[in-house]
Amino acid sequence: MTTNDSTSPASAPAQPPVPVALLGLGLMGQALAVALLEAGHPTTVWNRSQAKADALVAQGAVSAPTAGDAVRSSSVVIVCVSTYDVVNEVLDPLAADMGGRTLINLTSGTPDEARRSAAWAAEHGAEYLDGAIMGVPQMIGLPDTPLLHGGSRKTFEAQEGLLRVFGGANTYLGDDPGLPLLYDMALLTLLYATQQGLTHAQAMVGTANVSATEFQPLAAGIFHSVLAGLFDTESARVVDESDYATEVSNVSTNQLAVGHIIRTSRELGLPTDWLEPVQAGLDRAVREGHAADHPARVIEYIRPNAS
């Protein structure tokens, strides 16, 4: 069970300046550092390649020679490096310095990696929040930029004002620190599946010399209305209640449609390997007597421990 509390910038209390250590000055870390400095938080930065701190020092940051110096400078430590392996490599030697601090990890990875980081922080006496930034560095600091957070609610509430510096749409998902990355990966699944579909569609129409530019407005208009149906509350209820009765578009109709896509792709010389698992799920549902059901029934074959 998760609880979503979106907080607009206007509705949450202002955050007094708080000393922050920021580890990692890649593309995202740079944007986070600028946002902290612009909000007036005394900011100590550290990066493996120290030269990346130079421009930030000119804007008021303190550049720490080591990650340990950065951690010991501040009660709040934010880490945003490439992977959790790097987080561990940087922080493991600093375990003895973590007690009493709050570690906010904005690095991308897997939910279990986040949970292991949370356990490590707890073992060493630190509060821990995990976060997923749902945007690119250029979006940091904007009122609508979404960030997802998980960990202790008390810690989230204590740091909410600080986190708002990075984006105005902070959502607290629950005390499981794996939730932000679980949501992140779920949303990225949607993104990449859609991107793959768009790319395939562009290649399809391209075989008739239709440019992506020509195709785009029609595709966007129609796809928006399709999306509205996919994301309506009824589609979610069908899944949650495993109640697949439908009078709209059923497994059989969708099985035929995917078959047409695959046969057309073959005619055009386009790959079909990524579409075949879609067809296999629908074929199985038909074989098992569910042709008249809602196509969401295939989730029964995807869930862990599905038979």
Ligand X SMILES: NC(=O)c1ccc[n+]([C@@H]2O[C@H](COP(=O)([O-])OP(=O)(O)OC[C@H]3O[C@@H](n4cnc5c(N)ncnc54)[C@H](OP(=O)(O)O)[C@@H]3O)[C@@H](O)[C@H]2O)c1
Interface with ligand X, residue 28, by CB under 6 A: yes
Interface with ligand X, residue 186, by CB under 6 A: no
Neighbours of 26 (CB within 10 A): 16
Interface with ligand X, residue 57, by CB under 6 A: no
Number of residues that bind ligand X (CB under 6 A): 21
**Minimum CB separation from ligand X for residue 187, in Å?**
11
Nearer to ligand X, 170 or 246 (CB): 170
Interface with ligand X, residue 81, by CB under 6 A: yes
Interface with ligand X, residue 27, by CB under 6 A: yes
Q: Which residue has the tokens 């966007």?
A: 220
Residue nearest to ligand X as judged by C-beta position: 26
3-state SS of the chain is CCCCEEECCCCCCCCCCCCEEEECCCHHHHHHHHHHHHCCCCEEEECCCHHHHHHHHHCCCEECCCHHHHHHHCCEEEECCCCHHHHHHHHHHHHHHCCCCEEEECCCCCHHHHHHHHHHHHHCCCEEEEEEECCCHHHCCCCCCEEEEEECHHHHHHHHHHHCCCCCEEEEEECCCCHHHHHHHHHHHHHHHHHHHHHHHHHHHHCCCCCHHHHHHHHHHHHHHHHHHHCCHHHHHHHHCCCCECCCCCHHHHHHHHHHHHHHHHHHCCCCCCCHHHHHHHHHHHHCCCCCECHHHHHHHHCCCCC
Pattern of binders to ligand X over 85-114, x per CB under 6 A?
A: -x--xx----------------xx------
**Minimum CB separation from ligand X for residue 138, in Å?**
8
Interface with ligand X, residue 49, by CB under 6 A: yes
The single residue among 22, 25, 62, 121 that binds ligand X, judged by CB under 6 A, is 25
Nearer to ligand X, 138 or 242 (CB): 138
Beta bridge partners of 22: 45, 78
Interface with ligand X, residue 47, by CB under 6 A: yes
The single residue among 52, 149, 164, 290 that binds ligand X, judged by CB under 6 A, is 52
**Minimum CB separation from ligand X for residue 47, in Å?**
5
CA distance linking residue 65 with residue 50, whole number of Å: 8
Interface with ligand X, residue 174, by CB under 6 A: no
The single residue among 2, 7, 26, 272 that binds ligand X, judged by CB under 6 A, is 26
Interface with ligand X, residue 79, by CB under 6 A: no
**Minimum CB separation from ligand X for residue 28, in Å?**
3
Interface with ligand X, residue 39, by CB under 6 A: no
Nearer to ligand X, 21 or 80 (CB): 80
Q: Which residues are near ligand X by CB under 6 A?
A: 24-29, 47-49, 52, 80-82, 86, 89-90, 107-108, 133, 136-137
